C-alpha cells in the first residue's frame, strides 16, 4: 500500500510531480460530484488535499528560492538596478513607496523634509520666488503644482501635491516661467543666492547706500561736474524700467521678467544715490523730508493717482 506521508515531496522528479498534481485535481473533481458533508466528499477532498498540500509547499519553496536568487546582489550596480526595478513594479501595481526605508529614513520622510527646506528657502527669498498651478505651456501633473525660484545662476523648481498649496505663501503666477532645462544636479544653483550681491535682506537702506557710494567712489564718479551726465543716466534707467514693466503687461500678467524689472528699479536707486552724492545732498534725508511732507497731506485718490486737497 502506498502512503503519501511516507515520502518527502522533494524525492519526486518533475514528471512525478505533474502526475501527482493531475491526480489531486481529479480527486477534487470527483469530490465535486458528491454533496458537501457526505463521507465520499470528505474522503476525496481529504485525499486530494493530502497530495496537493505538499505540492503547494514545494511550489512556494521554489518561488522563494527564485526570489532569493534574484535578490542575490553581485555588484553595487546590480543592487541598484534590481531595487529600482522592484520599486517600479510595485508602483505600477498601485503600491506606495513612502514607507520604504534605508533603515534611518523613509521616502516619505525625505520628501517631506525636502518640502519644508525648500519652503524656507523660497520664503526667505520671496522676492525671487513663485508658485503656479500651471507650467508655462498650460500643462500640469495630476493634483500637483510647481514652486520655483530665480537664482543668479538660473531657475530651480519642485513639484508638490495640491494639498500643500497653502503652505507656500509666496507670489502666485498664472503660469510658471518658461522652463530653462534645469535638472536635479543643478541644486547647487541655490547656493548662488548666498553671494554677496544677494544678501539684501540682511542690510538696511543706509547700509546699501554706503555700499553704492563706495562703489561709485571706486569708479571715480563722485564729482559735482558729473551730475548732469548722471541725471541723464537716471532718466535712461527709468525708461528701461518702464520697458520691463510694459513687457510683463504684454505677457498677460505672467511675471516671467519680474526679476529683471526689480533689477531695473534697483538701477534707478543706484543712479539717484550717486546723483544725490554728486549734488551734495543725502538721499536718506531727502526721503525723510518727502515722507514728512506727504504724511500731513490730505486729498483723494482718483483713477489711481493721489490728488492733493488744494488741487481738487
Tell me the per-residue pLDDT of 189-218, one tens digit each, with 9 for 90 and over. Answer: 999 888 745 555 556 778 788 889 999 999
For the chain, the average pLDDT equals 79
pLDDT-derived band of residue 134, with 50, 70 and 90 as boundaries? very high
Q: In the chain, pLDDT over 70 holds for what percent of residues? A: 72
Strand 299-302 and strand 154-161: pairing?
unpaired
With bands split at pLDDT 50, 70 and 90, how would you rate the model's confidence at 44?
Answer: very low
Take residue 64 and report the three cell numbers written for it.
Answer: 522563494
Sheet containing strand 144-151, edge to edge, reads 129-132, 144-151, 154-161
Helix runs in the chain, H state only:
14-31, 39-70, 76-92, 107-124, 205-218, 227-250, 258-278, 283-294
Could you tell me which residues come within 8 angstroms of residue 269 by beta carbon, excluding any fewer than 6 positions away? Answer: 212
| pLDDT interval class at 17 (50, 70, 90) | low
Contact 278, 221 (CB under 8 A): yes
Which range is most confident: 20-29, 36-45, 225-234?
225-234
C-alpha cell at 285: 534725508
The pLDDT value recorded for residue 42 is 47
Backbone torsions φ then ψ of 52, nearest 5 degrees: -70, -35
Angle value at C-alpha 52, between 51 and 56, nearest 5 degrees: 130
Q: What is the rounded average pLDDT of the residues 224-228?
A: 94
171-188 residue pLDDT tens: 899 999 989 899 999 999
DSSP string, 95-108: ---TT-BSSS-BHH
The answer to whether residues 171 and 123 touch, using CB atoms and an 8 Å cutoff, is no
Which pLDDT score is estimated for 257?
Answer: 60
Which of the four pLDDT bands, split at 50, 70 and 90, describes residue 254? low
Within a 10 A sphere around the Cβ of 222, how many other Cβ atoms?
A: 15
Structure letter (DSSP) for residue 172: B
Q: Among 142, 137, 140, 121, which residue's Cα sits nearest to residue 179? A: 137
At residue 312, the pLDDT reads 74
37: helix, strand or coil: coil
> What pLDDT was estimated at residue 16?
59
152 pLDDT band, cuts 50/70/90, is confident
- Interacting residues of 279 by C-beta distance below 8 A, sequence separation 6+: 224, 227
pLDDT > 60? residue 88: yes
The predicted model scores a pTM of 0.45
Identify any residues that bridge with 206 across adjacent strands, giving them in sequence order: none
Over range 1-27, report the average pLDDT. Answer: 54
Minimum mean pLDDT range among 123-127, 160-164, 196-200: 196-200
222/63: higher pLDDT: 222
* Least-confidence region, from 51-55, 79-83, 152-156: 51-55
Inform me whether the pLDDT recorded for 309 exceeds 50: yes
Segment 148-177 shows an average pLDDT of: 92
Q: Which residues of 113-132 are buried (b: 16+ CB within 10 A; e: fewer)?
A: eebeebbebbeebeebbbbb
271/269 Cα distance (integer angstroms) = 6
Distance CA(87)–CA(84), nearest Å, equals: 5
Which three-class secondary structure state does DSSP give residue 195? coil
Amino acid at each position: 500500500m502506498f502512503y503519501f506521508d511516507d515520502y518527502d515531496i522533494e524525492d519526486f522528479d518533475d514528471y512525478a510531480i505533474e502526475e501527482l498534481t493531475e491526480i489531486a485535481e481529479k480527486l477534487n473533481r470527483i469530490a465535486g460530484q458528491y454533496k458537501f458533508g457526505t463521507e465520499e466528499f470528505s474522503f476525496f477532498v481529504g485525499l486530494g488535499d493530502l497530495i496537493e498540500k505538499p505540492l503547494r509547499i514545494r511550489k512556494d519553496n521554489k518561488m522563494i528560492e527564485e526570489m532569493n536568487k534574484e535578490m542575490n546582489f553581485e555588484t553595487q550596480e546590480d543592487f541598484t538596478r534590481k531595487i529600482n526595478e522592484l520599486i517600479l513594479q510595485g508602483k505600477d501595481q498601485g503600491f506606495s513607496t513612502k514607507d520604504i526605508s534605508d533603515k534611518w529614513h523613509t521616502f516619505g520622510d525625505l520628501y517631506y523634509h525636502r518640502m519644508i527646506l525648500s519652503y524656507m528657502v523660497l520664503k526667505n527669498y520671496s522676492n525671487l520666488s513663485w508658485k503656479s498651478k500651471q507650467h508655462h505651456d498650460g500643462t500640469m501633473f495630476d493634483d500637483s503644482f510647481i514652486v520655483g525660484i530665480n537664482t543668479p545662476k538660473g531657475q530651480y523648481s519642485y513639484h508638490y501635491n495640491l494639498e500643500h498649496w497653502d503652505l507656500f505663501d509666496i507670489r502666485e503666477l498664472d503660469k510658471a516661467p518658461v522652463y530653462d532645462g534645469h535638472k536635479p544636479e543643478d541644486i547647487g544653483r541655490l547656493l548662488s543666492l548666498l553671494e554677496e550681491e544677494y544678501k539684501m535682506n540682511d542690510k538696511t537702506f543706509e547700509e546699501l547706500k554706503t555700499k553704492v557710494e563706495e562703489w561709485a567712489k571706486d569708479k571715480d564718479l563722485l564729482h559735482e561736474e558729473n551730475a548732469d551726465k548722471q541725471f541723464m543716466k537716471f532718466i535712461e534707467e527709468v525708461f528701461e524700467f518702464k520697458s520691463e514693466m510694459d513687457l510683463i503687461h504684454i505677457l498677460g500678467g505672467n511675471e516671467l521678467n519680474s526679476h529683471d524689472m526689480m533689477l531695473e528699479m534697483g538701477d534707478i536707486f543706484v543712479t539717484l544715490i550717486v546723483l544725490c552724492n554728486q549734488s551734495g545732498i543725502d538721499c536718506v534725508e531727502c526721503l525723510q523730508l518727502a515722507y514728512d511732507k506727504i504724511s500731513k497731506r490730505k486729498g483723494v485718490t482718483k483713477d489711481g493717482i493721489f490728488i492733493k486737497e488744494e488741487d481738487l
